[in-house]
Structure 1
Amino acid sequence: MCPASARNVIISASELGAVLSGSTSISTPPVVLEVGRKNGDGVDPRHSYATGHIPGAHYVEFEADLVGTPTGSSGQGPLPEVGDLQGRLRDWGVDDGGTVVVHTRGNPAVAARAWWILRWAGVADTRCLDGGLAAWQAFGGPLDTAVPPPAAGTAVVRPGSLPVLTAEDAGRLATAGHLVDARSPEAYAGDPRRTGTGHIPGAYSVPGSDNFSGGRLRGAAELRALYADHLDGRAVGAYCGGGVSATTTVLALASLGVEAALYPGSWSAWITDPARPTTTGTDPGARPPAAR
């Protein structure tokens, strides 16, 4: 694979297949991670993994492995503890300076969150498998039921390798730059009759689902058109409900060579402080003065 770069954020199924089959000159194949997230239907996604996965892929449990312990002000998806994450990366066989490919069987936002966490942790050459496992199967890639044992990687976590916004940063960015809300239009608009709904004043709605078509990241021309109003050179940041969907915004912009910061706590953290302003409706709303 090519050296990591701002544009180098995804890999196609055919490219991954060539690497894993030894058809390229790459001496060290990437670590492949399948990320599963429980969705409340009682089905453990690990069972699907066990029935057949990309050969050599390790299973990653979204909540246990990529999310820290929530506190009263952290929001739903706080960052994982550095020591815990480093231990898991090593168990998955991730080496310092190595390459990782992440994917899911469904929602691409889950893979984007894994991509973001690993890059935030300093695993610079982390890619999302474009289209996830469905694309791998459509390509004709093989599946395996063998579960790889814990490995002995050498990864060193370097937190902060991608930019992060605090609540105060997000409020300021809504004034001085571009703050993108990646939730659905309905969640963004909220309901004026219900407290805790709506969006951060000054934030613009660009749903994270719009970054994809058929489960694959849209092409550069489509993404530039989607974000045209926010590519004027000023700083860009993203948030959502709990810090997952917004990582698709960061991923999409990274594919264009644009670095966007993530507000990990997102709306679920923003509303823990009643002093923070909120607004409802389909317009960004009055841009607030810089947050204190």
Structure 2
Amino acid sequence: MNTLKIAVQKSGRLKDDSMKLLKDIGISIDNGKDQLKATATNFPVEVFYLRNGDIPQYLKDGVVDAAIIGNNVLVEKGNSIEYISKLGFSKCRVSIAVPKNMEYKSLEDLNGKQIATSYPNTVNAFLEKNNIRASIHVINGSVEIAPNIGLAEAIVDIVSTGGTLFKNNLVEKEVILKSEAVLAVSPTISAPQKAILDKIKFRIEAVLKGQSSKYVLLNAPNDSLEAIINLLPGMKSPTVLPLAESGWSSVHSVIDKNQFWDIIDDLKALGAQGILICPIEKMVL
């Protein structure tokens, strides 16, 4: 039986979010403590728990067929690796930061400076693109400490909230790359494994679409029905059912959660009542 081998981060929040996603798409995995490999009980998948920085090479070599990994790691170590879906979690950015007391007006201020980073390939490509001549000091670990101990004048590192930069008296100045978790695929993946991966991608898209949408039910006065329907396109068009009370209809639809409050305000202005908003677990288009 063909089995898809998929890699996830060995530990940390990315691993936790990855395993939750697999659970949400109906793949049941019993991974005991410190296991490096686990097999799904209800789907042809084996999960490999690997060091994040090693995953791109495993993908290149075909040791694993796919991986859930931060796009920033692919850019740094897997420039021949493609991803087929963005996953919406583990969002961060790879940014340039400098000490608060450093005079910084533009990228040109980095000319002749030392930059500490764990992302030398990403940084070198960015500097070359912008015609900046700076030296790279590669550090694996706590990059933020480099300016405080005189090792570098600037750093490039992952930034999520900026809290770590603040604690080390650093200020974010330039965003090199915006990143999130992605579903990456090995260039050597076979047709049977690709078919399994396509099923996983389909399920993931259904979960992500559900997470980004809300189900709305409301009572609408018939004289405003057309205007209300125009606000609620749904997947094809809203469902409209007559209410027992004359002159009123029940409208069911789907809205983007990012437009939620604006749409609700408009619905109320058009006379909609009894508005119910429900989460959507999954949505298959």
Q: Shorter-chain TM-score: which interval?
A: under 0.3
Calculate the TM-score normalised by the size of structure 2: 0.26
Bigger share in strand? 2
User: Of the two, which has the highest radius of gyration?
Assistant: 2
